[in-house]
Structure 1
Amino acid sequence: MTEVKGEFSMISKRKITLLSCILSLAVASGCTGSAPASNAGSGSGAAKDAGKSETTQPAASTAPVTLRFSWWGNEVRHKATIEVINLYMKKNPNVTIKAEYRGKSERELIATGLAGGSIADIVQLNPPWMEDFTRNSDFFVDFNTKNNLIDLSGIDPQFLKENGVFNNKLVGLPMGVNATIGIMNKTVADKFGIPSTLDTKWTWDDFYKYGKTVNQKDPESYMLNMDIGSMVEFVLKRYIVQKTGKYMIGDDYSLGFTRDDLAEALTYINKLYTDKVAIPASDAQVFNDAAQTNPKWINGKAVMVFSWTSTVSPYTNGIKGEFVPFALPTREGAKNSALIVKPPQVVAISNKSKNVDEAVKFVNFFLNDVEANKILKDTRSISAVKPVAEAVGAEKLYDPVVLKGHEYGMKNMGLGDNGPTTNGEIIEVLENAVEIVAYPNANINKVTDDSMKLINDILKTLKK
């Protein structure tokens, strides 16, 4: 067993824009394969699947095993995850786990690894990717076939089903419970007279009216620090779902919103940019998928960001100011809060792994071991395993901002995203639309019409 050090692994990165083509090629060339025989290693005792009877633990093995574990995050998450890996290897000296980590999620990188069969044994995945990754593919191990090696009894069965089951297989396990939340720098908000209590009830109009005063008072400052992808996730989609009370895309791939709904949302976003509520898109996109590294945020020139409870640490660690959670705005007469509660990430095991059983045992340890989760704390939000969350919480190891945001999310949970809503091609259309309307004089009617046509064309394909 070799201790993992805190250095980035050198992972080859190849940008591929057509994700669907990558996955289609993988299926056509037989890259998915089936799970090879795995080496059974040392276990920590019998385990059971949620709702299933306990089964017999196989005999332990001391044969040397090497696993690769891939994830992304900030330095705090990296450090904690590496510490847990080292703890596991200390307890299981025949197992070596190679850490492969990076700063951004990088969907295309994962897709390339799946297509080429080079994906790590254990991989952290973004929940919105799962619909695309599993539609016509069999890349991942079904944890229901390994219920003698992993205990899922502490995870809410419905939460597990909604977020981990695809094509009737349990292929992803929640690495935490994540809630939509605003992260506000109260110190900066106070300077501009912005209300910062969690119980302040904001409408989208309120947010706009207060937000534009920030730049009016200081031309170097803005209310909102967000990239284009986040603007789609936390403003456009939430704005529309609050109006309709429906999924953006139905489970049958029907459209859950009208042309006018989309035009209204794009018009609102255009106002956020035009009236300088949000940091200009040209500046924000330099820090795409890493808005916490934007100098305006670091230097106290942005009041808040809409994000997830799992990202509190990246946005607050080492940044001056007092931070508080901030409620998602709602619209007058909203049919749904649209406040999402979901896993921050899911963990999966590659069907290509030569050591599936050992990989499952590590995942069991990662999710269920209390000592490990006292190290991880809230680097992936609050644990999805109830007794683990209670044990960590009892020692007050969760960041108060995360804990308050989590509690608020659980009380005000709304309609989340079903699988079709997370389709990568549809998200790309919406992101392109937002990027266009982020600039003055955008022709919102044309953008809306073009986007609706593209989305309807995609849905026709998906229905086949």
Structure 2
Amino acid sequence: MRKHKRLIAAFMAAGMLAGSLAGCSGSGKTAEPTTAAGAENTTAAAQTEGEKPGEAPGETVTLRMSWWGGDSRHERILAVIDAFQKANPDIVIEPEYSAFADYRDKFTMQLTSGAAADIMAVDQPWVSSIMAQGDFFADLSGYADLGLDDMDAYIIDNFCKFDNGTFFVPAGVNGMGSLVDTEKLAEYGFDPADKTFTWDDLIALGEKVHAADSSQYLCCVDSKQAALYYARVYLRQLTGKQFINDDGTVGVTREELAEALGLVNTLFEKGIFQPIEEAGIYENSMTQNPTWLNRQMFMILGRTSVMTDASARRADESGNYTTSGYVLPQMENSKESGIEVRPTTLFAVNGKCENPEAAAKFLSFMFNSEEGAELLKDTYSVPARESLRAFCEEKALLDESAMENVVYSLENSGNVVNAWSNNSEVEAMMTEIMQKIAYKQYGSMEEAADEVISRIDQIVASSAQS
């Protein structure tokens, strides 16, 4: 308990798209309330003008809710929906969920076609481009039950608030770190108590791992992760600058960019990353790579949520996890830590929703109640509200290393990454550059840097014309 209280105290101290959106389902035939599993068979009931959910007996409001994730996340959110509907039989939540890659494509299509869900999960890097197009989401600042004023001010102020309102509810807080197989890595001299882990240490450890067995690789990674958690983190530590400035100009020099890309090239060449011919099969699903599952890979760099992801953590035959949280590699004399603190996921309510009170009521249950927190557990990393973190700590619902990582990240966070540096087109371009490096398609990293700079200019110019 003392350690839990110290963690809580530390936490307190640390503390795209055009198109119209569809309105909430607020009319139709009367239907009996159902559980989440049967919600697809439910039709919304008509709601008398001026009435709020629950005021007219026998009538229901139906809200569509969309999100992405794996099986564990789906199961837990469905449990939240089921519990909410039992307590609020006048509100029916129709779930729509998929894997991230499928969700992103569907999300884009629904926004542009006017078929977006009433309550929707939004990835933080998408927000700036969406908000620049217009007022698509409901202002949630008037719904006190959401508890937005009691959530981490850093998260609310930097990611949820805009000049004309507060449009997003954070599902949780993500820091940055790594997930490591400490037992296996101990064989190669790795000490998890030593938090001064550098990029040079990572390379030296990776060389030992691969030299001992050529089928082993220190890092489990795909091309997107290589771009986000290796090249970009290294570049931020090296320069302390935004990758792309607010005005769309490249924020780093050609030489600095070439050095960061060179890190990725070195990791491939030295066998610290698995060859892309083998790992590329598992793009966007790297934790399903048999080499990771068979404990022949030992480290994943990423956000705090990877430490609580059941598919990443790996369980042994006894059901015990073989991994634990650790720090992000650092650079000696770095300009900043490279650690990005951001919401795990954001949730928004459709701006044309006819029943935003009902939508806000559900989001309050999901993210601002003890019952919701107990059902979600670590689905979205660590809650954004301190009192719920305390509750989860008391109930042992949260992974302790994940909590420690978020505390560490809040205390050592780097600059907030701006909209251009988080741009989805830039991210996709950098992912492609990682693949070309892996396939040895460049004569030098300066050549790779030149392509990055040229393509950023093209992306910015194209955006200005649209």
With normalisation by structure 2, the TM-score equals 0.84
Preserved contact between residue 315 and residue 322 of structure 2 (Cα < 8 Å): no
Is 1:126 aligned to residue 123 of structure 2?
A: yes
Across the aligned residues of Structure 1 and Structure 2, the Cα RMSD in angstroms comes to: 2.3
Q: CA deviation at 1:133?
A: 2.0
Q: CA deviation at 1:290?
A: 1.9
Distance, in Å, in 1 between the alignment partners of 2:411 and 2:68 is 29
| 2:55 match | 61
Is 1:261 aligned to residue 262 of structure 2?
A: no
1:257 aligned partner, one-letter code: V
Preserved contact between residue 314 and residue 323 of structure 2 (Cα < 8 Å): no
| 1:281 match | 276
| 1:369 match | 369
Preserved contact between residue 217 and residue 298 of structure 2 (Cα < 8 Å): yes
Q: Deviations over 1:103-148 (max 9, x none)?
A: 325422211111112222111121111122222133222212x435
Q: CA deviation at 1:64?
A: 0.6
Q: For residues 293-312 of structure 1, what are the structure 2 equivalents within 5 Å?
A: 293-312=288-307
Distance, in Å, in 2 between the alignment partners of 1:183 and 1:302 is 11
| 2:226 match | 231
Is 1:174 aligned to residue 170 of structure 2?
A: yes
| 2:450 match | 449
| 2:136 match | 139
Is 1:431 aligned to residue 405 of structure 2?
A: no
Q: Aligned residues: percent identity?
A: 27
Distance, in Å, in 1 between the alignment partners of 2:116 and 2:459 is 28
Is 1:76 aligned to residue 77 of structure 2?
A: no
2:127 aligned partner, one-letter code: M
Is 1:189 aligned to residue 185 of structure 2?
A: yes
Q: Deviations over 1:239-263 (max 9, x none)?
A: 1111111222223333221111111
Q: After alignment, is 403-412 or 268-277 more displaced?
A: 403-412
Preserved contact between residue 180 and residue 308 of structure 1 (Cα < 8 Å): yes
2:273 aligned partner, one-letter code: A
1:283 aligned partner, one-letter code: E
Q: After alignment, is 216-225 or 92-101 more displaced?
A: 92-101
Q: Mind listing any 5+ residue stretches in structure 2 that lack a counterpart?
A: 1-15, 28-50
Q: Deviations over 1:408-447 (max 9, x none)?
A: 2223222232222111122222112111111246323322
Q: CA deviation at 1:59?
A: 8.1
Q: CA deviation at 1:163?
A: 0.9
Is 1:421 aligned to residue 421 of structure 2?
A: yes
Distance, in Å, in 2 between the alignment partners of 1:252 and 1:262 is 19
| 1:107 match | 104
Q: CA deviation at 1:366?
A: 0.9
| 1:341 match | 341
Distance, in Å, in 2 between the alignment partners of 1:355 and 1:367 is 19
Aligned length: 418
Distance, in Å, in 2 between the alignment partners of 1:319 and 1:251 is 47
1:66 aligned partner, one-letter code: T
Distance, in Å, in 2 between the alignment partners of 1:266 and 1:411 is 28
Q: CA deviation at 1:381?
A: 0.7
Q: After alignment, is 153-162 or 292-301 more displaced?
A: 153-162
Preserved contact between residue 134 and residue 166 of structure 1 (Cα < 8 Å): no
2:447 aligned partner, one-letter code: K
Is 1:150 aligned to residue 146 of structure 2?
A: yes
Is 1:159 aligned to residue 155 of structure 2?
A: yes
1:103 aligned partner, one-letter code: A
Distance, in Å, in 2 between the alignment partners of 1:248 and 1:198 is 32
Distance 1:401 1:461, change over 3 A: same
| 2:387 match | 387
Distance 1:324 1:59, change over 3 A: closer
Distance, in Å, in 1 between the alignment partners of 2:384 and 2:144 is 20
Distance 1:400 1:37, change over 3 A: closer
Distance, in Å, in 1 between the alignment partners of 2:275 and 2:109 is 32
Q: Deviations over 1:153-194 (max 9, x none)?
A: 221234202011346442221110111110001122123x14
Distance 1:319 1:279, change over 3 A: farther
1:116 aligned partner, one-letter code: S
Preserved contact between residue 281 and residue 438 of structure 1 (Cα < 8 Å): yes
> What SS does the aligned partner of 2:325 have?
strand
Is 1:90 aligned to residue 86 of structure 2?
A: yes
Q: CA deviation at 1:319?
A: 5.0
Distance, in Å, in 2 between the alignment partners of 1:447 and 1:388 is 46
> What SS does the aligned partner of 1:86 have?
helix
| 2:3 match | none
Q: After alignment, is 278-287 or 235-244 more displaced?
A: 278-287
Distance, in Å, in 2 between the alignment partners of 1:213 and 1:141 is 53
Distance, in Å, in 2 between the alignment partners of 1:346 and 1:59 is 24
Distance, in Å, in 1 between the alignment partners of 2:461 and 2:336 is 27
> What SS does the aligned partner of 1:143 have?
coil
| 1:3 match | none
Q: CA deviation at 1:85?
A: 0.8
Q: CA deviation at 1:32?
A: 4.2
> What SS does the aligned partner of 1:383 have?
coil
Q: Deviations over 1:248-294 (max 9, x none)?
A: 22233332211111111111101111111012223323222222111
Among 245, 256, 261, which residue is 1:250 paired with?
245
Distance, in Å, in 2 between the alignment partners of 1:333 and 1:211 is 22
Q: For residues 216-227 of structure 1, what are the structure 2 equivalents within 5 Å?
A: 216-227=211-222
With normalisation by structure 1, the TM-score equals 0.84
Is 1:330 aligned to residue 325 of structure 2?
A: no
> What SS does the aligned partner of 1:421 have?
coil
Preserved contact between residue 210 and residue 217 of structure 2 (Cα < 8 Å): yes
Distance 1:448 1:151, change over 3 A: same
Preserved contact between residue 196 and residue 326 of structure 1 (Cα < 8 Å): no
Q: CA deviation at 1:318?
A: 3.3
1:450 aligned partner, one-letter code: E
> What SS does the aligned partner of 2:146 have?
coil
